[in-house]
Structure 1
Amino acid sequence: MTKPITLQSLQECMAEGLDAGRVDDPTARRLWWAALETIQAEVLLADGEAPAGVWIAAPLPALYDPGLLETMQGWVWTPDELHWTTGQKGALLPPERFSGSTEGKTQTKPPYQRLSLLESDGLDPLLIVITAELQVALALHGKSDQRQLLMRCDPETLSTLLAMLDQRLQDQAAEEAMGLRRAMSALGRLQSSELFAQRFWPGLAERLACMAPSLTLQTLRTVDDANEEDNSKEDAADAELSLLEAITHEVRTPLATIRTLIRSLLRRKDLPAVALDRLQQIDSECTEQIDRFGLIFHAAEMQRQPPTPGGLARTDLGRMIQELSPGWQQQLQRRDISLVLDISPNLPSVLSDPGRLEPMLGGLIDRSSRSLPAGAQLLLQLRPAGARLKLHLRSQLNDRGSTSQEVESTSELGPVLSWNPSTGSLQLSQGATRRLLASLGGRLIQQRDQGLTVFFPVA
């Protein structure tokens, strides 16, 4: 009797001939998210638009680019307990994520064929993408603390995987096996890209560098477990923060894809100057929003899991501000606001985390300038203050130096976000900003009409 094909057996096939993994599960999940972004960008870049193709995933739909969902046929194994319909108690994903709504009309059927996940399949994620020019399989595999990201694009492994999938579908849903065969035949001759593996891993590393440190795909829970946890206010708050983390990722992911496409165009030498200028503006705006939502994600993560103290290093704050100021000036000039720097010479280093401090400083510039009118000035001062350095941000509305009101009426939207009704903008709440700065060694003081002050300890 033939041994039943499980999704675990597919992952074991992918792992054949490879060393065991060496990372924990949270690290492996971050690798998975970065790999999804890398593969989707690669498919879109193949010929400039979303191609026809096939994708197979478990235990959740792994593809999320709208263009790919429209042009590619999908099959997804999901647990029977998962519900996608609006209003169903225990729904783990919002219906609009995969509803394919267009012009106000929402399709209740997701853009893929859904199949039942068996208990023997496990819950490790799997994705296989097949187009005429790109064929790749992706999975997480391994025991706890021996996890690894598997990526296979060699024709031999992919042929074996497709044969195993065909057998699995014949055993579980014969009509879907025929549908997959027809979809594969419609693609015609497959051309495997020998250079894909050389592009994949550097692309993965680039996306990891831009990703918040603990973005994970949470292990699935049963509906009964979720219902029990709903009875606790603490768990409800945790779920709200998890949703906020997911939303910020949903915003940053397409922006990162757009930025990747823009930067590929910027490398061309045949574009007119006006097109290059517009592309650079789009690139700057994408970067600004990616950093902004990255701070929101990190604030939500910190609210849910406070970090352990430590990990700060010597940081030349004055030099960092000088190097970052051209980008801030360009950002502010789009709103006709000028930036004035007033930095004392020969300042000592401070104790902070330079990697996380850069986007945080950009967030302070954005926070201090978002409600300013055109023609205003934003003054940044950096001065010694005993055993600390004092960073002060305040706005001026005219040449006579009149200071604007820094603190306007805002509505708190939980512990992380606040909303400014006058501008319609979301920003980090004052409490979340204070917690983020504290993790970077800074102490925030914000008073009405006096701007924003942060003290950093001298190294």
Structure 2
Amino acid sequence: MAKAEPTGIDLLVPEFNPPDPHPATDRQELLLKAHSQWQSAIASVETLLLKSLPSPIGVQDLSEETVIEGLLITAPLPIFSHPAIVSQLHTITFTTPHANRQLLPCKATGREPDFQEYHHFPIELLPTDPLAEERFCLVLTSQFSLVVVLGEEDGEPRCQFSFDPDDLDLAWKSLRGRMMLTAPQHLSYVDELAARFSPIEPDYRWVMAFSQYLLEHQPTAHIAPVAQQVEVPTKLAADVELIQALTHEIRTPLTTIRTMTRLLLRQPELSPRVLKRLGAIDRECTEQIDRMELIFSGVELATTAPSQAVDLTTMSIGELLEHSLPQWKQQAERRNLNLAVAIPHKLPAVVSNPTILDRVLTGLVENFTRNLPSGSRIQVEVTPVGDRLKLQLQSQPESDESPHTAPTVRHAIGQLLTFQPETGNLSLNMNVTKNLFQLLGGKLIVRQHLQQGEVLTIFLPLSTIAQS
């Protein structure tokens, strides 16, 4: 029997419904479950794409001549941020009428950029289009074809996927019809890509790999064995799902903007003023991407089962500080702050996780500098104290006569985040940050002093190998 063409594309694919030891009992739980499955599916698609593309490409290798290896159609925002995917797949994003078009690189020069040149283009859906209520990802490559949809069926949230060429063909025809209405000028080029990467019969190895990745990327709350299951309050689980979705939706468009900016920076004959502005855009995007990554990782670690501890190892804190201090100083200088550092010439090794510690420290310093008035001085002191290494941050006013800043006002957002109205800064709350340092083998102490304002003190355990 021939399949009827649906109004959206959510009915084209079977439901992704792995066994759940904690079945949903109401719509809110069903919604959280569907979003969790969507995130798992998208992470799995990204892994498949990175394995299928000819070779890994870094940002420094991007060029407008990069060969297109496939067609990617998503909604309502760009989904993937990895440079290899951004550069090698031509991406079309169906945006909703209320989407923030400023986040998409659609009109950077006062004219509509060339559709083929930029490898990424937004197309706005009609306001009454039922597709505006869905999230979807259609992937067409020479290796595999796949569609993933987050929508509703029979009034309930559903995440669905399919490798079936018939389903993919119906999905493509549904999207092509919309493009014919709203962006017919691009149809001939997209038709060429769709014909070049038309849906193919799935190789069972890609399907098996995708299924395995689905399990690997599922949040602990859905797939952990009962013996290791973490009892997370429903309210906290909702916070985690919201933060995961929020950080993903922010990082993805920012990464797209940064990639396009770096492509522009490669263009010859740019004026110094333009180079300076593009450099500032690149830097700001990178900082915000790193902040979102810290929030995402922090929440993930904060809700991890105790049995899944962070890997700790003997590491050189001196090398970490040598790498991070220039970035900290740049952050301070941009806010007209003076960063003074007092570090011994030779530091003992500590026990922690170098990658996560670097990210957490940089995020902590950034939040610290955002709260200080222009002209303040930040003192960073590192000293061995017994069997621990002490790293302390404190601020001083511009002069002895200058009043110190008032204590920072922070509003809680859920149980994991705080918001500072004066700066617009969103960050992990101090309880979560303290838990992160505990997972990293250390300890964070926060005190308010009348003269120094907020003082942050971090203790890290010294390596017994270094002491012996």
Shift of 1:284: 1.5
Alignment counterpart, residue 456 of structure 1, candidates 451, 457, 460: 460
For 1:262 and 1:396, the matched residues in 2 are separated by: 37
Aligned equivalent of 2:264:
265
How much has 1:102 moved relative to structure 2?
Answer: 7.4
d(CA) in 2 for partners of 1:271, 1:217? 46
1:92 equivalent in structure 2: none
**Does the 8 Å CA contact 1:394/1:406 hold for their aligned counterparts?**
no
* Alpha-carbon shift at residue 425 of structure 1 (Å): 2.5
TM superposition shift of 1:279? 1.7
Deviation at 1:323, TM superposition (A): 1.8
Return the offset for 1:376.
0.9
**1:187 is aligned with what amino acid?**
S
State whether structure 2 residue 286 is matched by structure 1 residue 281.
no
Q: Return closer, same or farther for 1:265/1:454 CA change in 2, 3 Å cut-off.
A: same
Total equivalences in the alignment: 344
User: Residue 251 of structure 2: SS of its match in structure 1?
Assistant: helix
Give distance in 1, aligned partners of 2:12 and 2:310: 45
Once residues 350 and 390 of structure 2 are traced to their aligned partners in structure 1, the CA distance between those partners, rounded to angstroms, is 11
SS in 2 for 1:409: coil
Cα deviation, residue 368, structure 1: 1.6
Secondary structure in structure 2 of the residue aligned to 1:187: helix
Cα distance per residue 1:57-86 (max 9 Å; x no partner): xxxx655239x9xx9697xxxxxxxxxxxx
**Is 1:293 equivalent to 2:295 in the alignment?**
no
Cα distance between partner residues in 2 of 1:244 and 1:424: 17
**Distance in 2 between residues matched to 1:73 and 1:423, nearest whole Å:** 32
Residue 98 of structure 1 deviates from its aligned partner by 4.2
Paired residues of 2:44 and 2:217 also in contact (CA < 8 A): no
Q: Which moved more, 1:280-289 or 1:306-315?
A: 306-315
Deviations 1:245-294 (A, max 9, x none): 11111111111111111222223342222222222222111111111111
> Is 1:65 matched with 2:65?
no
2:192 to 190, 200, 203: 190
Give the 3-state SS of the residue equivalent to 1:448 in structure 2.
strand
Q: Cα RMSD over matched residues? A: 5.2
Aligned ranges 1:46-445 → 2 under 5 Å: 64-65=77-78, 98=96, 100=98, 109-110=128-129, 112=131, 127-128=138-139, 137-138=145-146, 161=165, 165-166=168-169, 179=177, 186-187=187-188, 190=192, 234-307=233-306, 308-399=308-399, 404=404, 407-445=407-445
Give the gaps of 5 or more residues in structure 1. 9-24, 75-96, 116-124, 141-149, 153-159, 195-213, 221-231
User: Could you say what secondary structure the match of 2:351 adopts?
Assistant: strand
Q: Aligned residue for 2:206?
A: none
Partner of 1:119: none
**Aligned residues with identical type, % of pairs:** 31
Paired residue type of 1:127: L
TM-score normalised to structure 1 length:
0.60
Taking the aligned partners of 2:395 and 2:363, their CA distance within structure 1 comes to 15
Structure 2 residue runs without a partner (length 5+): 5-10, 15-37, 80-85, 102-124, 149-160, 197-215, 223-230, 464-468
How far apart, in 2, do the equivalents of 1:250 and 1:73 lie? 13
**Is the aligned partner of 1:32 residue 2:45?**
yes
For residues 153-172 of structure 1, the C-alpha deviation after alignment (integer angstroms, 9 at most, x for no partner) is xxxxxxx94x6645x579xx
Q: Aligned partner of 2:459: which letter?
A: F
Aligned partner letter, 2:98: G
Alpha-carbon deviation of 1:179?
3.6
Go from structure 1 to structure 2 and tell me whether the alpha carbon gap of 1:267 and 1:72 turns closer, same or farther (over 3 Å shift): closer
Question: Over residues 372-425 of structure 1, what are the superposed CA-to-partner deviations in whole Å (9 max), with x where a residue is unaligned?
Answer: 111111111111111111000001112559894685332222321122344343
